Amino acid sequence: MNSPVPRWWSQRFAPEGSQTATGILRQLGVTGLDLVAILVRESVQNSWDARLPGRSDPIRVTFSLDKIGTRAVTWRKHLVGDQGNGPNLGGLESLKSCITSNDYVLTISDRGTTGLGGPLRGNEVPAPGEVPNFAQFIRNVGEPRDQELGGGTYGFGKSIHYAFSRCSTILVRTRCEPDKTHPHRLMGAALGEVFDDNKSGKRYTGRHWWGIIADDDVPDPVLGPDVARYSDYLQLPDDDLAPGTDIVVIAPRMDLGDDGERVEPIELGQRIAAAIVWNLWPKFGSASRRQAIEFTVRVDGVEIPLPAIDEFPILSDFSACLDDVSEMGLEGPGVQTRKSPPYIVGRLALRRTRGDFPRRNQVGDLGYVLDHKPFPSPINYVCRMRSAELVVDYLKTAQHSLDGIGYVGVYRASEQADHHFAVAEPPTHDSWQLASLTGVDKGVITAHRTFIKSKVEALLEGSEGTASKSVQGLGRLASTLGSIISTGIGTAPSTKPGRSGGKTTPRKTKATRITVPAHVEIVDGSPVVRATVDVAAGTTDMVVVSADTEIRLAGGRKEATSKAPTGASFSRIVRWLRPDGSEIREGSTLHVLPGEGGEWFVEASVVPDASVDISVSQEDL
């Protein structure tokens, strides 16, 4: 006996009224996030909330953007068939027109998760201990997942998958754990416009499902062995028999340019990768925090590299702040408390860093991370998150009085207070809003902003220690540190350095050169001017490399320290050292024996109200 063929089914308005597709799409509301960021945040939040209980290994989340190519004919056959252009989407592009050889599909997959189990229909009561994940995701849009300390709140964010499709159509394939009744499911869904069928006199909500039409005229998912069969027909990714979910966004939107122009698939992939980095960096882990999610982004099978968070400028400082927060106890300057429940509201750590982002060419093939950064220079932002450690937003705070000096922070709500922060979030979870809050909810949200503001002010004034072990003394630093060269690198890049800067005066041998220009770094709690030098050693004789400093005055004019007026502040070369700290040579001169060349740091003292440049020269003995 042949299995029934899946078809599109359109929802009629119930006599008592029904939710329209247009209303669902508008439930995301107005947000400062772009569509890519919303898609990434909501998708990964769903995956995180669905992680298998007791799992210690990272869950896996993959975004794969692939051209439909030769699959177009098969896709049209099984997803459109004899139903004209597919479901009636009104004024939207039809499904059929979006399935061509030149169109793309975006598959968002997670593994190590429970999958979408539970009842097949939205009106069925789950069994004791059963969670209606399938019905909540594909049928009852707006019903939140009941996940303690999860990232979700309203359940409206699921509509982003439809909004990201030109034809507002998705496929969902899932393998459920521990569901034994229907462990393997496949269903399609679309959100179009309300329409009337004058022939039947019926009105339709604009909601559509692709599946097996049951005897009671309700669509159910494709089940069991038929899932594998249709997965083969559509050439969906191998599900490797592991529990998890694949969401296939048909014809993802590419009109993401500044003026709505189409971007290339590789740029969409890079935007997805950047959104992962800036919104989900806590899940990458650190030396002291385990990795929680393993991310992969591919475009036509080619993987886009993701940075090591602990090594990437600025992000490494945010990560260090989260490390500090994670180490805090029940009290201390970074712990926000109340005299009534919730007694602990949240924890805050601050760290000083460079005042601006590095140049794009200093981070190699990770430049896309800077292209799509969520905030501009100067860097004075606190990353806020709930206890699930999914980024809510970056809160702009007071700017340091000196150019080139910045700071970052992390504020994490406590588990005790998590609910109060959750109810302050809009459907996109990208802010904590006071509007409509009352009672303890309003008090908690108001107080946390006051707490952050007071700690930042104390940091800038240097009036007290803070939660971060690296922050103390920034106020004193402000009174002694001058402006900083705008091209400096406050945190070391994880890739090859940029083009050489500074001066070199080679003699007789291969040139010694500066590979990273002079910039300010914080070393052992104090500022120094540092440049990176590629020292070219001689083959048989000793080489002497000398470093000198110049002061860059207002207007850009340079003046050698030897010409500084009597009593004026000047900079001096302090030492040379290997990047790994294995060798340290005091003073401005470095004697280099054969074989001792390579990369060295040279450090100089800072000067108030001026920038310091470093030059090097080389001479054979």
Query: Is the CB of residue 588 less than 8 Å from the CB of residue 577?
Result: no
pLDDT at 614 over 70: yes
Query: Is the CB of residue 105 less than 8 Å from the CB of residue 188?
Result: no
Q: Cα(562)–Cα(571) distance, rounded to whole angstroms? A: 10
The SS3 call for residue 270 is helix
Mean pLDDT of the 502-528 span = 65
Q: What is the pLDDT of residues 106-156, one digit of tens each?
A: 999 999 999 999 999 999 999 888 889 999 999 986 565 555 554 444 456
| Contacting residues for 366 by C-beta, under 8 A, at least 6 apart | 305, 307, 312, 494, 495
- Give the alpha-carbon dihedral of 160, 165, 170, 173, to 10 degrees: -80
Mean pLDDT, rounded, of the chain: 85
For residue 277, which amino acid is it?
Answer: V
**What's the pLDDT score for residue 217?**
95
Place of tokens 């970056």: 394
**What's the pLDDT score for residue 177?**
78
Structure tokens at 553: 């005055």
Query: Is the CB of residue 359 less than 8 Å from the CB of residue 417?
Result: no
pLDDT at 463 over 50: no
pLDDT at 559 over 80: no
| Contacting residues for 500 by C-beta, under 8 A, at least 6 apart | 513, 514, 515, 517
pLDDT-derived band of residue 359, with 50, 70 and 90 as boundaries? confident
Q: What is the pLDDT of residues 41-57, one digit of tens each?
A: 999 999 999 999 888 89
**What's the pLDDT score for residue 507?**
36
Q: What is the pLDDT of residues 221-271, one digit of tens each?
A: 999 999 999 999 999 988 777 899 999 999 999 999 888 899 999 999 999
| Contacting residues for 360 by C-beta, under 8 A, at least 6 apart | 367, 370, 371
**What's the pLDDT score for residue 439?**
97
| Contacting residues for 574 by C-beta, under 8 A, at least 6 apart | 528, 586, 603, 604, 605
Determine which of 111-115, 192-196, 481-485, 616-620 has the lowest per-residue pLDDT on average. 481-485
Mean pLDDT of the 271-277 span = 98
**What's the pLDDT score for residue 361?**
84
**What's the pLDDT score for residue 315?**
96
Distance of CA 539 to the CA centre of its chain: 48
Structure tokens at 249: 């966004």
Q: What is the pLDDT of residues 302-337, one digit of tens each?
A: 999 999 999 898 999 999 999 999 999 999 999 999
Which tops the pLDDT comparison, 450 or 182?
A: 450
Which tops the pLDDT comparison, 433 or 30?
A: 433
**What's the pLDDT score for residue 180?**
72
Q: Which residues of 169-189 are buried (b: 16+ CB within 10 A; e: fewer)?
A: bbbbbbbbbebeebbbbbbbb
Mean pLDDT of the 194-214 span = 95
- Give the alpha-carbon dihedral of 477, 480, 484, 488, to 10 degrees: -50
pLDDT at 380 over 70: yes
Structure tokens at 195: 């329409």
Strands (E), 95-143: 104-111
- In the chain, the domains with their CATH numbers are 34-303 (3.30.565), 309-480 (no CATH), 504-620 (2.60.120)
Q: Cα(100)–Cα(79) distance, rounded to whole angstroms? A: 13
| Contacting residues for 89 by C-beta, under 8 A, at least 6 apart | 95, 167, 168, 169, 190, 192, 193, 206, 208
* Sign of the C-alpha dihedral computed for residues 360, 363, 364 and 365 taken in this order: negative
pLDDT at 490 over 80: no
Q: Cα(102)–Cα(104) distance, rounded to whole angstroms? A: 7
Mean pLDDT of the 367-396 span = 97
Beta bridge partners of 409: 350, 382
Mean pLDDT of the 500-528 span = 62
Which tops the pLDDT comparison, 493 or 455?
A: 455
**What's the pLDDT score for residue 596?**
82
Q: Which residues of 508-530 are buried (b: 16+ CB within 10 A; e: fewer)?
A: ebeebbbbbbbbbbbeeeebbbb
For the chain, what is the radius of gyration of the CA atoms?
Answer: 29
Q: Cα(164)–Cα(260) distance, rounded to whole angstroms? A: 14
pLDDT-derived band of residue 552, with 50, 70 and 90 as boundaries? low
Percent of the chain at pLDDT > 90 equals: 59
Percent of the chain at pLDDT > 70 equals: 84
